[in-house]
Amino acid sequence: MDDTVKQISSRLAAGGVNIVFTGAGISTESGIPDYRSKGGIWENYKPVTFDEFMSSRDSRVTYWSRKAELYPDLVKAEPNPGHEALVSLYEKKMLEAVITQNIDGLHQAAGLPEDRVIELHGNTLRARCMSCDAVVSIHEIQQRIECGDAAPECDCGGFFKSDTVSFGQSLPEDEYTRAVELSQTCDVFLVVGSTLVVQPASLLPVFAKQNGAFLAIINLSETPCDGMADVLIREKAGEVLPRVLEELDKGRRARR
């Protein structure tokens, strides 16, 4: 592992455009349950599709009851050493942006500027009206649910939905376009905690590698891109990323 960590740190330090792509693996270390793994959310709950949400009040009630059940884990979650290490990389001017599949806002909570986090699947800390596009805090929605409003609606009569991407709903166009552009022009593409199975987000490391980027993957389980990776580490993000920082600091001290 020491050699692979050194490879990552040396490539990050070499200059150029460095991108990190994060998935559920970095957030599970903060107590956020994931969706697809054994024991994950979708093993216990059938997801409510976007069409179901829009066409059925019963589906909206089911949708929000599940969100309310997950709310305590969401509000008590805090950034872990993996999130904090990415902030340190940004402060060292070695990180251009984080592209994330996560919806928990922990990258911003750790200190990354909002404009440096590209949220492909939205953010569950917000709710958005499906009619007028008004945005409110998820805390306001939770309060309404606890007061008996099982499927909160906007003043305009539209349906409030978590500002996240549901099955059957398109990715936010601007965010995905920016993510593709960065992937195609970056020098380092570092995958952290993603199984790389959800399309089209899973295509981003392929775009990066096809355009000559150094591809590193830090993930506990296998991914479809393992065979094309320059470096592959099967460890927790919260353990590996701080070691990358340590190597960067060693290299900086050695150059003095």
| The CATH number of the domain covering residues in 41-76+122-164 | 3.30.1600.10
Where exactly are the structural domains of the chain? 1-32+79-121+172-256, 41-76+122-164
Assigned superfamily of 1-32+79-121+172-256: TPP-binding domain (3.40.50.1220)
Say what the pLDDT of residue 36 is: 52
Integer angstrom CA distances of residue 124 from 23, 60, 70, 101, 134 = 15, 16, 11, 12, 15
Give the pLDDT confidence score for residue 73 in this predicted structure.
87
Count the Cβ atoms, other than its own, within 10 Å of residue 168: 13
A 10 A CB-CB count for 21 gives 29
Whole-number Å distance between alpha carbons of 33 and 107: 16
Of 83, 107, 121, 139, the active-site residue reads: 121
Identical fold for domains 1-32+79-121+172-256 and 41-76+122-164, yes or no, is: no
Judge contact between 175 and 163, C-beta under 8 A: no
Mean pLDDT for the chain overall: 93
Which tokens hold the place of 242? 């701080």
pLDDT of residue 97: 98
> How far apart, in whole angstroms, are the C-alpha atoms of residue 139 and residue 133?
18
Q: Nearest-CA neighbor of 136 among 147, 116, 119, 152?
A: 152
CA angle, 83 as apex, 82 and 87 as ends, to 5°? 115
Give residue 35's pLDDT. Answer: 57
pLDDT tens track for 115-129: 999 999 999 999 999
Please report how many Cα atoms fall inside a 13 Å half-sphere around the Cα of residue 113, on the Cβ side: 9
DSSP assignment letter at 220: S
Query: According to the model, what pLDDT value does residue 184 have?
Result: 98
Q: What are phi and psi of 217, to 5 degrees?
A: -125, 125
Q: Is 121 a catalytic residue?
A: yes
Using a 10 angstrom Cβ sphere, with 0-12 exposed, 13-18 middle and 19 or more buried, the burial of residue 172 is middle
Quick one: which of 79, 146, 147, 148 has its CA closest to 117? 79
244 three-class SS: helix
Q: Which residues of the chain have pLDDT under 50?
A: 39-40, 42
